[in-house]
Copies of this chain bind each other. A is one copy, B any other.
Amino acid sequence: MKQALKASRIANASNKQTKDILSAVGQLFKDLPMDAPPPFTGEKVYNIVSKITNNADPYESIKLKNIKKCKSLVPHLQDLIDRSEDPLLTAIRIAIAGNVIDHGVNREFDIEQAIEDILKQEFAYFDYEKFKSQLDTVDEILYLGDNSGESVFDKLLLKQLGKKVIYAVKENPIINDTTQKEAGLIGINDLASVISSGSNAPGTILDTCSQEFRDIFNNSSMIISKGQGNFEGLSEEDAPIFFLLRAKCPVIARDLDVEIDSIIFKSS
């Protein structure tokens, strides 16, 4: 309900449209299974907002603004990576910092502050050694993107990984998540093949993804999953996933048994 209201405002919904959105979202509850993962509900909620406001991409200008902002930080961040003792780890930290950009759960964030904090923050889970040894053995990585600004920082990590990467994005606009369009603007294609997950959920729920994507997923020997939405959809899957995220919501923090705002680098 809170997200529906926020999204209505971002989509410039009229009062009447906002009321209709909240009514329609209210109707959803009855038919939602108790164990519906948040991205499942999220897709439905944001679809309602798009339909009622007749706006297929309410977050378009926000995404462009975030991409522009994040791009402006790239030279400095690339320099930080290059000069750091462990460039791969620094790139991972920066890619996690991008996860602070979130218009679904929280609207307030300061990306520069987040980077500064996360560069110094202790990981609550830190499966880095396992990550490095697995990285040595694989030829290809499936990388599950999250929000559009974050994808700018993902690109820095892609460079550092130095592997063939398949970068998965959402099929159609959903909140501020990266689609093919934003991936193109960022130039993810320079370093990875960008594919659609076939899903519009703000997170990866395999059942809602295309068969093509599921085949790639099931055949992957190493998967990097960015952000809460992907974690929520995939945390129970039996697959070689490394989750990179900031635990921004209390439910996820509790689920992982960490403090809120912890940074997570966790092997499945």
| A binding-site residues for B, Cβ under 8 Å | 1-2, 15-16, 19, 22-23, 25-30, 32, 34
Q: State the CA gap A173–B19 with chains docked (Å).
A: 29
Question: Which of A1, A19, A26, A27 has the most chain B CB atoms inside 10 A of its CB?
Answer: A26
Cβ-closest 7 pairs across A and B:
A26-B26, A26-B29, A23-B29, A23-B30, A1-B1, A19-B34, A22-B29
B residues less than 8 Å from A27 (CB atoms): 26-27, 29-30
Complex formed: what's the CA distance from A23 to B27 in Å?
8
Q: Most chain-B Cβ atoms within 10 A of its Cβ — which of A2, A23, A29, A34?
A: A29
Q: Is the CB of A30 within 8 A of B26?
A: yes
Q: List 21 A-B contacts (CB under 8 A).
A: A1-B1, A1-B2, A2-B2, A15-B34, A16-B34, A19-B29, A19-B34, A22-B29, A23-B29, A23-B30, A23-B32, A25-B26, A25-B29, A26-B26, A26-B27, A26-B28, A26-B29, A26-B30, A27-B27, A27-B29, A27-B30
A49 to chain B, nearest CB (A): 15
Residue of B nearest to A15 (CB): B34
Interface of A is mostly: helix
Residue of B nearest to A21 (CB): B29
Min CB distance A216 to B, Å, is: 35
Closest to A34 in B: B19
A2 to chain B, nearest CB (A): 8
A29: chain B residues within 8 A (beta carbon): 19, 22-23, 25-27
How far is B191's CA from A131's CA once the two chains are assembled, in angstroms?
Answer: 74
Q: Given the complex of chains A and B, what is the CA–CA distance between A29 and B25 in angstroms?
A: 9
Contacts of A19 in B (CB 8 A): 29, 34
Q: How far is the CA of A34 from the CA of B16 in the complex (A)?
A: 8
- Cα distance A25–B30 when bound, in Å? 10
**A2, A16, A27, A28: which has the most chain B beta carbons within 10 Å?**
A27
Whole-angstrom CA separation of A29 from B20 in the bound complex: 9
* Cβ–Cβ < 8 Å partners of A30 in chain B: 23, 26-27
